[in-house]
Amino acid sequence: MKANVEYMYKSLRTRFYSEKKIYLISLFFVLIADGIGEIKFHLGSGIIILFPVFYAIILGVLSGPQVSKIINTKEVQAASKLVIVGICPFIVKLGITAGANLDMVINAGPALLLHGFGNVLGLILGLPVAMLLGMRREAIGACSSLNREYHMAVINDVYGASSAESDGSLALYIVGGMIGAIYFGVMASFVAMLGWFTPQALGMASGVGAGIFMASASASLASIFPAHAAAITTMASTSNTIAGITGIYITMFIAIPLTEKFYKILLPLFQHHHILRTRGGRQNAL
């Protein structure tokens, strides 16, 4: 590291003193969440599995400055820097699974490299719904991707940070943070139960978006197909790694131009649609 880098804390000691509450409370949440363990609900022919990580997320939100105020706003910001640290060992673990099944990765090589184009269906389904609900330019930011950090950076870069598109992107980022992990886990298990897709393809599809989405989806899938757990986690982790690299370019050169085109086609259809359109435009964003 360069000598002129500005650090957030003066030293490790100051970091420890200002963040110790976060460490303690997080470890305490692990104790509670894993103490409760996985809970399975049978729903018709399907199962919904609740993972300890879901309880930990909920406990985290509830201790925040807007509910029980155990954690203040400064600590909230510190915690957001810790997410990436925590995700590292988890991704290493997935990488090890992939390495142990290297032949599978090599066999699926071309498919893995092309992974990411499937994202297009998200905007095709999402944009009409968003516009029907009265969103306009902000729908472009909201629907062009899953709006994780790197997607949001692209939208901010293309449209500017104070644009309607960036407002839409930020709104979806927040929604994703709140419900994304839980929704991805449940949704993946429902899609799996359709019986249309192989465990490999399901595993690969889990790799779209954030690491936390991938983990949740692949954990659910691995519980549904215990015999294919290694295949699922291998495909999920490698496709997630590749999506992290190609995702920026896919958003920039494919998803955004396509969303723009589709928006122009849809706009006349919704132009006179006043029923759901409250005061229109930006008020609906943030």
Q: How many CB atoms lie within 10 A of CB 135?
A: 27
Tell which one of 122, 156, 158, 258 touches another protein (CB under 8 A): 122
User: Is 43 an interacting residue with respect to another protein (CB under 8 A)?
Assistant: no
Binding segment (CB under 8 A) for another protein, from list 40-48, 92-100, 155-163, 264-272: 92-100
Structure tokens at 99: 């390495």
Residue 211: CA atoms inside 13 Å, Cβ hemisphere, count?
18
Amino acid identity of 5? V
Tell which one of 4, 6, 35, 227 touches another protein (CB under 8 A): 35
271: which residues sit within 8 A by CB, 6+ positions away? none
User: Is 201 an interacting residue with respect to another protein (CB under 8 A)?
Assistant: yes
Helices (runs of H) and strands (runs of E) counted in the chain: 14, 2
Q: Which of residues 137-166 bind another protein (CB under 8 A)?
A: 139, 142-143, 145-146, 150
Per rule CB under 8 A, count of chain residues that contact another protein: 139
CA distance 142 to 145: 7
Tell which one of 18, 46, 50, 97 touches another protein (CB under 8 A): 97
Q: How far is the CB of 38 from another protein (least distance, A)?
A: 8
The CA-CA-CA angle for residues 99, 103, 104, to 5°, reads 90
Tell which one of 6, 45, 110, 275 touches another protein (CB under 8 A): 110
According to DSSP H, which parts of the chain are helical? 12-36, 52-62, 73-100, 102-107, 109-114, 120-132, 137-143, 149-159, 164-175, 181-193, 199-206, 211-224, 229-250, 256-270
Q: How far is the CB of 1 from another protein (least distance, A)?
A: 6
- Of 80 and 261, the one with the shorter C-beta distance to another protein is 80
Q: Which of residues 228-257 bind another protein (CB under 8 A)?
A: 229, 233, 237-241, 244-245
Binding segment (CB under 8 A) for another protein, from list 23-31, 40-48, 153-161, 261-269: 23-31
- The radius of gyration of the chain's CA atoms, rounded to the nearest angstrom, is 21
Q: Which of residues 47-76 bind another protein (CB under 8 A)?
A: 51-67, 71, 73, 75-76
User: Is 267 an interacting residue with respect to another protein (CB under 8 A)?
Assistant: no
